[in-house]
């Protein structure tokens, strides 16, 4: 069974971070998937509606994997733009059941 973990990365650089870390993890790309949740919004500007894609959780990405092993941890931590895992870098825990279902619904 796959778990979901959350990581905080530099805001507005989430897609760039995922691209870089995916390149660094190309030798094991089947073991994890990275998700950055976005939504389409209709925003009214100067009387006209404009469609924009905005992040649901700016600065946070979600990792779908069985566990955060040492290899994954080191590569993610060394990739530019990484801040921390949630709960903390010393206590990395998967999302709880409530958060998991919320994320799964948004995916």
d(CA 24, CA 98): 31
Task: For 31-79, write each residue's pLDDT tens digit.
Answer: 899 999 999 999 888 899 999 999 989 999 999 999 999 999 999 999 9
% the chain with pLDDT above 70:
99
pLDDT of 16 strictly over 90: yes
Q: How far from the centroid of its chain's Cα atoms is residue 48's Cα?
A: 32
How many C-beta atoms surround the C-beta of residue 60 within 10 A? 18
pLDDT of the residue at 60: 94
pLDDT of residue 82: 95
In whole angstroms, give the CA distance from residue 43 to residue 59: 21
Do residues 52 and 43 lie in contact, with contact meaning Cβ atoms separated by under 8 Å? yes
């Amino acid at each position: 069974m796959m778990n979901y973990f959350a990581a905080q990365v530099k805001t507005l650089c989430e897609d760039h971070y995922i691209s870089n870390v995916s390149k660094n993890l190309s030798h094991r790309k089947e073991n994890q998937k990275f998700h950055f949740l976005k939504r389409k919004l209709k925003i009214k500007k100067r009387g006209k509606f404009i469609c924009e894609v905005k992040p649901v959780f700016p600065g946070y990405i979600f990792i779908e994997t069985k566990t955060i092993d040492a290899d994954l941890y080191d590569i993610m931590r060394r990739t530019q733009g990484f801040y921390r895992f949630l709960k903390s870098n010393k206590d990395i825990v998967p999302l709880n059941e409530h958060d998991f279902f919320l994320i799964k619904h948004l995916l």
